[in-house]
Structure 1
Amino acid sequence: MSTTTTEALSATTLLRFATAGSVDDGKSTLVGRLLHDSKSVLVDQLEAVERASASRGQDAPDLALLTDGLRAEREQGITIDVAYRYFATPRRRFILADTPGHVQYTRNMVTGASTAELTVVLVDARNGVVEQTRRHAAIAALLRVPHVVLAVNKMDLVEYQESVFAAIAEEFTAYATELGVPEVTAIPISALAGDNVVEPSANMDWYGGPTVLEHLETVPVSHDLAHCHARLPVQYVIRPQTAEHPDYRGYAGQIAAGTFRVGDPVTILPSGRTTTISGIDLLGEPVDVAWTTQSVTVLLTDDIDVSRGDLIVPTKDAPATTQDVEATVCHVADQPLTVGHRVLLKHGTRTVKAIVKDIPSRLTLDDLSLHPHPGQLIANDIGRVKIRTAEPLPVDSYADSRRTGSFILIDPNDGTTLTAGMVGESFASPEPVKDEAENDGWDF
């Protein structure tokens, strides 16, 4: 790649987006078509796909194979794991997460969409909006993905009828709006034939909107976290103890949000001790300022107790610490989450013991009603939980920070991830009831 091309790409914006939809809606084919028609596929990759397609008796290359890389995926014809792809056009760079559609792998969709600024939800034009479509819309709303694209796929199989597209778009948009999704853009496509993916379709002259790629290239990107509440979760304490630096003590981590400067007064949470930043090292060199996503080592003026799991924040902008966490969660494990369940809660770099004190409600996807106090959440359920932690945690609202307002619940016995949680997020919940769960020694 030439220096000019490299400079041009570095000047373009980056969009992280994810695909979602039910099994066989054509997500992997859409991704393959995007990569192929935008000329983002290497010659040897395309040749490998052509050989694999020919061996299966297919006349044309199966573009879904560009993302379905696992052997089990190719054999079953479904996406199982999240496939990340990186590509670029002259207008923008992209990180794409192709997520599974099977209900069993909804947890992978949560992973793929957790950092996305846009989600493409595919719907088979023959089937319309189904339960898994509603689930993916609900997850996108919970994760506060700011842009949602409804791609009504396989329009070639319904003779490119405008009425079919219009009915699906109206139903999905009404549902997503009720969930609180701020923006839905509906696009009729045929991923297999290439209609409205990269090039406009000659078969749907009644549609005057953008193609999928055109929308991806032009949608506003607002993921600049440098101006958010500054947060630095401590991952590691560095003490080289060399003759050159006998008293060096640095606190390393990746800045989750905001900007830190030398001289800033900061507070260490959850202890609440205050001090001042005396230095910042970035890639082994001292700098005066550092911002979101940079991995840095911070030096402090005072010799105070700071360890992995602590959070460094500006003193003037410190979140409150709490042992009572209320959140909306998506349960992703096969074993149920129950009232009284003893878990580990991982928030940033800190992991603490916790108990599920109450499950006030579970969301019913069909009509968005709330089932009060279900007592448990099973795999792929979305619901409200109240959790009591053994130690105070400095949590932000998820609305303020997707990084420090989120957490996961872990099974303390085998380390299985149970639940992904968003602090403070709610579809509205019924009045709480008195908790009568047995704490069994975990009474915080």
Structure 2
Amino acid sequence: MSEKVEIDVEYLTRVEGHGNIVVNAEDGNIEKCEWQVIEAPRFFESLVVGRNWKEVHHITSRICGICSIAHTLASLKATEAALGVEVSEQDVLLRKLALHGENIQSHILHLGYLALPDFVDSDSILPLISSNKEEVKTVIRIHRLANYLSELIGGRTTHPQRLIPGGFSKLPSEKELRDLKGRLKNSIDDLKSITELLEDLAPKLPNFSRETEFISITSDEEYPFYDGILASTDTGTAPVHNYLDYTNEYMVSQSTAKYTKHNRESYMVGALARLNNNYGKLSPMARETAEIFDLNSINCNPFMNNIAQLVEIVHNVEDSIDIIDELMERGVKPQDPYHQPDISVKAGRGIGVVEAPRGILFHDYVYDEDGICTEANAIIPTNQNHGNIQRDMEELVPQILDKSEDEIELTLEMLVRAYDPCISCSTHYLDVEFV
């Protein structure tokens, strides 16, 4: 055991946003162990107050450049619930397809570019372009497929324009959907190659487990991303309008992002939480992928969130193929270009929930009788994970103090990266002292 351990990771790399890891220990006594979020806060809830209902989803999609589809859909669902707008079954299927595209896009970005270097003793993906050229090309092909899917359904890869209150401004053609299905089917060999690669590297995942609560949406019908009810591995299910009873946001001194807690002092959201709550609804090939890694419900190793993301990519591809088949069987109902649904404005409050790649996402709006937003609240997946990261660190550090400082530092960096945090999106607090 090192007599003195001083770890100060300022601006952790290969994550979105700015966060620090600080650990001080002497003679086995831990004096400080903190996951610090030091990014400047952002005020999207305030930005949408006073804005028209037609504008809000375009503004809130800018909360994130990685999860813009999820933010757009959570925002649209909140606005539609407030105004009493119904969306057709066809549009719901297409929205589910859009979420699948974003989930593949985000997960492969994390696994292939951000997490993979940790498993091959590299500081970044760049050296792997020479040493693991074919593996990198495989990752890029899956990423490009996800970009294409997102652009086809949303109108562009990031910050979609076709997703609007009440439906879509423009629909993909049946020809485009058939082409997309072909691309998805052709990606299966690449997914198998990535699975084989991660199977070889999986022994490098730390063997660490800490019991915690996992929260996501769940559904009797499917492995849900677009719609469902709240689910906790501790307390069971509840309707979405009870979300504030689940999130219970609060502040801590080392973070500009709020923390959350429910039945315990912290909980986890994201791919592992979804898998733990919905394992039985995985697609056949996704279930087979999970079994390769002995990933079953309930798994409490946060490092396995990496593998849960791989399992979800496989599920996203399989379910996207099934959705396209259903759309083809129904026949895509045409609509005029630049379609604008007929919506009557009224006062109301609406809550929208979807599963973003990093976990359950809530948008909550109040509109007045003119359709002007008067109140807004957004609870981001990463700010729901911050408390769990902190408590994982507190339990993990004593178990690895016998390692070198470099090994301790790398293990803690891998822990935070396993959560795939979107730190910038989560910062919603500023402590102003008036003098």
Structure 1-normalised TM-score?
A: 0.19
State which structure, 1 or 2, has the greater radius of gyration over its C-alpha atoms. Answer: 1
Higher relative contact order (CA 8 A, sep 6+): 2
Instruction: Identify the structure with the greater strand proportion.
Output: 1
Tell me which protein shows more helix as a share of its residues. Answer: 2
